[in-house]
């Protein structure tokens, strides 16, 4: 399977030159198989993904971690929705009644569902069994985030990828830390929330996010192979993320764990020789305290 990052920001998009190398789109990651694409979250990153999928024969499945705006706002702009004869499977976050298809109400978006040339098939009941029936082994884990959210684990031909973009480590109101660790245990790639730095997190407890150091601690405890830090604060510039990359990798080197600060275009070919694009902009980084 191939995992590609199309949106890596949290809270709001971050346009501007100082965010260009890592990218300003909000959460969206594509997991591609031979003839299927599992889209994890529908932030604004789903727009470039949709353009890449135009004209393809892939079966499309959009799976949501939760319903906060930065994870669903891109859904009406997903280009395959406007292809006649196409089917898009929307696996709703069934813990709530609202669905992003409700954005098509003629008020928040000018179109209504009946105006779409494609067929949107919603799935609410037994979503993991539904994905299994389409050849995708996906498991979920409740995480600690206001309003509730899930993390997902995708397994294919012995390779394991965990997507957990919104989770407050240190909070156990919705999920025990031991359950989070067990869910991530030994995976090949763990993509985890790291929105805040150590000197920021204490003022943001209860907001549903983790610090870089907390994500690193989880990766070590779970014994993952590669940690991907995601859901960057919209004020975190490229230069600041360069520093996060340097310090995080230095902290993980003694444990033999690779680390990448997520950026748009980051790709893992799991099941083959692991392949990564160059660091964003190939800009040299400097070691500095977080």
> What are the structural domains of the chain?
2-98+108-269 (3.60.15.10)
pLDDT for position 125: 83
Structure tokens belonging to residue 282: 């190939």
Give the pair of three-digit tokens for residue 262. 């997520």
- The structure's pTM equals 0.93
DSSP type of residue 242: H
Mean pLDDT over each residue of the chain, to the nearest integer? 92
Each residue's pLDDT expressed in tens, for the chain with a length of 290 residues: 999 999 999 999 999 999 999 999 999 999 999 999 999 999 999 999 999 999 999 999 999 999 999 999 999 999 999 999 999 999 988 767 789 999 999 999 999 999 999 999 998 889 999 999 999 999 999 999 999 999 999 999 999 999 999 999 989 999 999 999 999 999 999 999 999 999 999 888 988 899 999 999 999 999 999 999 999 999 999 999 999 999 999 999 999 999 999 999 999 999 875 555 556 754 333 222 22
User: Which is nearest to 58 in space by CA: 27, 42, 28, 79?
Assistant: 79
What whole-number distance in Å separates Cα of residue 233 and Cα of residue 237?
A: 9
Backbone angles phi, psi at 24, to 5 degrees: -110, 0
d(CA 269, CA 237): 28
Q: Tokens standing for 167?
A: 């989770």
User: Which string of b and e fits 138-168 if b means at least 16 CB within 10 Å?
Assistant: bbbbbbbbbebbbbbbbbbeebbbbbbbbbb
């Amino acid at each position: 399977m191939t995992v590609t990052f199309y949106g890596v920001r949290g809270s709001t998009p971050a346009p501007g030159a100082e965010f260009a190398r890592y990218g300003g789109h909000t959460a969206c990651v594509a997991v591609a198989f031979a003839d299927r694409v599992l889209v994890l979250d529908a932030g604004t990153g789903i727009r470039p993904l949709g353009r890449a999928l135009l004209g393809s024969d892939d079966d499309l499945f959009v799976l949501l971690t939760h319903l906060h705006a930065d994870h669903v706002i891109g859904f009406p702009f997903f280009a395959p929705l406007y292809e006649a004869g196409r089917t898009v499977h929307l696996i709703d976050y069934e813990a709530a009644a609202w669905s992003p298809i409700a954005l098509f109400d003629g008020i928040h978006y000018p179109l209504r569902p009946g105006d779409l040339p494609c067929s949107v098939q919603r799935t609410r009941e037994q979503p993991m069994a539904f994905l299994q029936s389409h050849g995708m082994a996906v498991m979920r884990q409740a995480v600690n985030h206001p309003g509730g959210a899930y993390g997902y684990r995708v397994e294919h031909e012995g390779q394991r990828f965990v997507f957990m973009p919104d989770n407050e480590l240190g909070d156990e109101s919705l999920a025990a830390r031991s359950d989070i660790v067990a869910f991530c245990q030994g995976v090949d790639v763990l993509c985890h929330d790291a929105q805040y730095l150590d000197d920021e997190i204490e003022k943001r407890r209860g907001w549903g996010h983790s610090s870089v150091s907390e994500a690193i601690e989880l990766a070590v405890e779970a014994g993952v192979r590669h940690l991907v830090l995601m859901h960057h604060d919209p004020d975190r510039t490229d230069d600041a993320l360069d520093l996060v990359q340097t310090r995080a990798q230095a902290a993980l080197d003694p444990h033999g764990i690779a680390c990448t600060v997520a950026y748009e275009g980051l790709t893992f070919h799991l099941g083959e020789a692991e392949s990564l694009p160059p660091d964003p902009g190939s800009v040299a980084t400097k070691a500095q305290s977080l």
